[in-house]
Amino acid sequence: DVVLTQSPLSLPVTLGQPASISCRSSQSLVHSAGNTYLNWFQQRPGQSPRRLIYKVFNRDSGVPDRFSGSGSGTDFTLNISRVEAEDVGVYYCMQGTHWPPLTFGGGTKVEIK
Amino acid sequence: QVQLQESGPGLVEPSGTLSLTCAVSGGSISSSHWWTWIRQSPGKGLEWIGEILHSGDTNYNPSLKSRLTISVDKSRNQFSLKLTSVTAADTAMYYCARGYGDSRQGFDYWGRGILVTVSS
């Protein structure tokens, strides 16, 4: 199985400041057909997860443009340009290139300082 | 707006069978989406369980495959999960979700989740 390692585990951030979450894969996530199936999810306290980004950098409808995804191969990043109070929660990366199984990272908890 | 709603027992005895259903509304289960089960153990991360297409084609997590059956009922617009020989390790919040296309790109609609505890 592909292992996704997220860092940091916990990320205290000041409101209005940027935040960056890393996701590293045990194998390259470039699919033979050329796509890279690396997605990001947000899980606010007490809620179901919500997809933010798919295929590395494509933002879902309704997701604020302060969220952006980047990366290639085995190294990927989710950036929040200016953290707002509603961004508190746990963020997960997920890969769909090598499956089954689809696998998730262990999560990064974003909290306000 | 597509909505998913999980239902089933919240308590299952060890060695028993965990059975859950996901009702889909606002969209057809016969669309070209894979319908998925995901679980989250208390205080832990997310684990993909498996998925089904309206045709009945399935993909399962190899770690659960020997105990797992996912089925679809097109007449009721719902799909179901059965996990046999459960232990305390199967205690989790179980979510159903819709795959964005073939699920490689993640899941665009989720249910609210149902907490299942395995205990006598």
Cα–Cα distance between B106 and B88 in angstroms, integer? 28
Contact: B104, A100; criterion CB under 8 Å = no
Phi, psi at residue A85, to the nearest 5°?
Answer: -60, -35
Per-window interface: B 56-85 vs A, CB < 8 A: 59-63
What is residue B100's predicted lDDT score, i.e. its pLDDT? Answer: 87
What is residue B84's predicted lDDT score, i.e. its pLDDT? Answer: 98
**How does DSSP classify residue A56?**
T
Q: Summarize pLDDT for B12-66 with one digit per residue, the tens.
A: 999 999 999 999 999 999 998 999 999 999 877 899 999 999 999 999 999 999 9
Contacts of B104 (CB under 8 A, 6+ apart): A31, A35, A37, A96, A97, A99, A102
CB A71 within 8 A of CB A1: no
Contacts of B28 (CB under 8 A, 6+ apart): B77
Contact: A102, B48; criterion CB under 8 Å = yes
Q: B94 CB near a chain A CB, below 8 Å? A: no
What is residue B47's predicted lDDT score, i.e. its pLDDT? Answer: 97
Cα–Cα distance between B21 and B43 in angstroms, integer? 24
What pairs with residue A111 in β-bridges? A12
What is residue B43's predicted lDDT score, i.e. its pLDDT? Answer: 75
| Closest Cβ–Cβ partner in A37, A60, A103 for B48 | A103
Cis previous bond, A64, omega within 30: no
Which of B105, B112, B114 is the mutation pick for testing A, counting most A CBs within 10 A? Answer: B105
Chain B residues whose beta carbon lies within 8 Å of the beta carbon of residue A94:
46, 106
A38 CA to centre of own chain: 8
